Amino acid sequence: MRLSYSFLAAGLAVAGLLAAGPVALAQEAPVPTPAPTPNATPAAAEPPRVLFKLGTGVVNGSGYGGYGGLTLPVILGAEWQFAPGWSAAANGSVSWNVGPRRYYGGSSSDRWRPLLAQGNLDAAVRHYYHQEKRQQKGRRTGPYQGPYVALQFNNYFQPNFPNGYNNSRRLGYDYSSLNLLWGTQRRVGGHGLLDTYIGAGVSNNKTYYYDGNGTSGRRQANLHFELGLKMSLVNK
């Protein structure tokens, strides 16, 4: 009888081990860790679009006074950011004398005829600085706005003077200048832009003198100043 109980106890013990074995193995077996999903690569920031400008303002050759009366430019420009804080800019402008002019001779209608006063082509490289400081102070930052320094090359054109009268609508080369500018550009509303700057450099203006046989001119290096205020409509 004792032997029967021993076999019975042994059988129950073995059955218990067999039943508990898979559970214990399942608990002890390491659970495979799923491979970490690689973080999705953030989409590259879309580069800023080219900024196109159409406007007017006060630039070299514009203003009021003298024979021309009121002279205003029409300015078409573009600016492209090629690196953070850096942009390339180009502008073309034509200045016109508008309104009545001090015209001696000719018909009275000539006093109101628009007269081509000056043309200008310029190209510049700009660096916008203090972007982080402006952001910390809650000021507007981003492409094409904020204080900047620039190196700008200008070409100026003046009307030809056929028969001694300034009545030509054709432009001829006048002089060039290379300037270092300091300025600031800011957005005005949704599609407005205000650009102000001041600077200085060198130019190759023609100096005229009388040599006994008439008036002659020669080009030489001169100190040149730039001052401008432009108001434009932009595409963004």
What is the longest distance spanned by two Cα atoms in the chain? 152
CA–CA distance, 186 with 91 (Å, rounded to integer): 17
Q: Check: CB of residue 178 under 8 Å from CB of residue 150.
A: no
The angle at the Cα of 78, spanning 189 to 171, to the nearest 5 degrees, equals 120
Please give the pLDDT value at position 197: 97
Domain coordinates in residue numbering, the chain: 51-234
pLDDT digits (tens, 9 = 90+) for 43-73: 556 778 899 999 999 988 777 766 667 889 9
Please give the pLDDT value at position 39: 56
3-state secondary structure 145-183: CEEEEEEEEEEEEEECCHHHCCCCCCEEEEEEEEEEEEE
pTM score of the predicted model? 0.70
Q: Check: CB of residue 226 under 8 Å from CB of residue 201.
A: yes
CA quadruple 19, 25, 27, 33: dihedral sign: negative
Residues 6+ apart with CB under 8 A from 197: 150, 181, 182, 183, 184, 226, 227, 228
Distance from the Cα of residue 99 to its chain's centroid: 33
The confidence band for 12, taking pLDDT boundaries of 50, 70 and 90, is: low
**Where is pLDDT greater, at 229 or 220?**
229
Indicate if the pLDDT at residue 168 is higher than 60. Answer: no
pLDDT digits (tens, 9 = 90+) for 117-149: 889 999 999 999 987 777 777 776 778 999 999
Does 2.60.40 match the CATH number of domain 51-234?
A: no
Indicate if the pLDDT at residue 114 is higher than 80. Answer: no
Indicate if the pLDDT at residue 198 is higher than 50. Answer: yes
Please give the pLDDT value at position 31: 54
Please give the pLDDT value at position 47: 73
Please give the pLDDT value at position 23: 47
